[in-house]
Amino acid sequence: MGRRAAAIAGIAEWKAQRVWDRPMFMLEACAQLAQEALADAAIDKDAVDGLLLPPVWESPMFGPSAAAEYLGLAVNFAEVVDLGGATGAGMVWRAAAAIEVGACETCLVLCPTVPPPPQQGGDPAKMRMPAYLGGDAWGSPQGQFEIPAGMVAATPSFAQVAQRYRAVHGLREETLARIAVHERDNAQTNERAIFRGKPITVEDVLASRRVCDPLKLLEIVMPCFGGAALLVTSAERAAQGPHRPVFVSGFGERLTHKSITYAPDLLDNPIRAAAGRAFGMAGASREAIDLASIYDCYTITVLVTIENAGFCKPGQGQDFVDERDLRRDGDWPLNTHGGQLGAGQPGLAGGLAHVTEAARQLMGRAGEGQLRRCDLAYANGTGGMMAEQVALILEGA
């Protein structure tokens, strides 16, 4: 039996869009997501006493208090979390831990990724990841040794992982393609997915443009806009809500590096420790999970995460994938919302989407994509270059 002190009680999530038609400031998006998550949980705003949010664009300093002021909250726990793609999952365990030790009882977890209104009119911007990802700050090691070498954005770094995998274990491009295809199939029942109505085949993936060898275009997420939020509260309060409470049963976090160059091992990454702690804390076995909600910025991310999270031994991930059907009606459902490969990557909300989908499945609210049975889920977040890693075990009450 894992932890039972805190549970997810409410979900808010916006449809991913390549072009966002209603620009808003981040504080405005936080307010809207908070309103929707509270309504979904049927919890009064005055009950909120905890707040987790990413760095606030309108208040680079004092972000938590800026948000508390804007949303009209009085909170006993507030934190800016900056873990890239693992931010959402990192917020969820922080909320659960704060609730368990009594620091607060009801936490808003907010991940907006929307463009602000243009300052002087003009068309809404397309979502583009900044090439340097903050690595160009004065004194940054990346600015001195990675950016001048062309190691920018994320794709060249994940391609290094894939190429190393090829050298050590051999790489079957059809197997990686199959991950993208099954996830895309899952996206077909997700009304928020950017690629709904656009299924693909293994041949499509293999024929797509080579971007950074060995990664091809259809193995890479599409950056877009969106937003997601969760309401995490005490087990007692969650039990009074309209939905099946989703316990944060176990969690783990691990960081060792920022640049993939300096990762202790390109293939044995920090998710091993994070997942080990999460499964151990939850007292859950790998075989018992009904859903794997695995961070998937690239197909290779899924493959090495399956291995490192302990679902199979190192080097056996491709056999594991080939022997299983990863679709929602298959024997090992993976990313039933389509993952970010199928649903789009709305920044930090794309990371939280792996948690919102797990919560939705455990609550029995996944609609067309609902699993027949879902009582236990593994959700994880990967930030940076296989760097920040957070694993969660979520369990239906």
Partner 1 sequence: MGLQHTPEGRPVALANPTSRPFFDAAREGRLVLQRCPRDGFFFYPRSHCPRCLGTDWSWEAASGRGTVHSFTIDRVGHAPGLGAEVPYAIAIVELEEGPRMTARLVDCDPDSVHVGQEVEARFEPLLDVAVVHFTPRA
Q: Residues 270, 254: contact at Cβ < 8 Å?
A: yes
- Structure letter (DSSP) for residue 262: G
Q: How far apart are CA 318 and CA 311, in angstroms?
A: 12
Considering beta carbons, is residue 152 or 289 the nearer one to partner 1? 152
Using CB under 8 A as the binding rule, whether residue 368 contacts partner 1 is answered as: no
* Of the candidate residues 3, 94, 164, 258, the single one contacting partner 1 (CB under 8 A): 164
Considering beta carbons, is residue 101 or 149 the nearer one to partner 1? 149
Q: Other C-beta atoms within 10 Å of 225: how many?
A: 28
Binding mask 250-279 for partner 1 (x = CB under 8 A): ---------xxxx---x-------------
Q: Residues 174, 202: contact at Cβ < 8 Å?
A: yes
Site stretch for partner 1 (CB under 8 A), options 15-23, 58-66, 159-167, 226-234: 159-167
Using CB under 8 A as the binding rule, whether residue 242 contacts partner 1 is answered as: no
Using CB under 8 A as the binding rule, whether residue 208 contacts partner 1 is answered as: no
Considering beta carbons, is residue 75 or 263 the nearer one to partner 1? 263
Using CB under 8 A as the binding rule, whether residue 173 contacts partner 1 is answered as: no
* Of the candidate residues 68, 153, 202, 206, the single one contacting partner 1 (CB under 8 A): 153
Q: How far apart are CA 148 and CA 269, in angstroms?
A: 25
Strands 6-13 and 226-234, by their bridges, are antiparallel
Q: How far apart are CA 179 and CA 330, in angstroms?
A: 13
Q: Residues 274, 380: contact at Cβ < 8 Å?
A: yes
* Of the candidate residues 23, 143, 310, 364, the single one contacting partner 1 (CB under 8 A): 143
* Residues in a beta bridge with 231: 10, 108
Q: Residues 7, 246: contact at Cβ < 8 Å?
A: yes
Quote the least distance from Cβ 156 to partner 1, whole Å.
5
* Of the candidate residues 10, 54, 63, 156, the single one contacting partner 1 (CB under 8 A): 156
**# residues near partner 1 by CB under 8 A:** 41
Using CB under 8 A as the binding rule, whether residue 151 contacts partner 1 is answered as: yes
Q: How far apart are CA 191 and CA 343, in angstroms?
A: 9
Q: How far apart are CA 38 and CA 32, in angstroms?
A: 10
Considering beta carbons, is residue 177 or 260 the nearer one to partner 1? 260
The residues that touch partner 1, with contacts defined as CB under 8 A, are 131-132, 136-141, 143-153, 155-156, 159-164, 166-167, 209-215, 259-262, 266
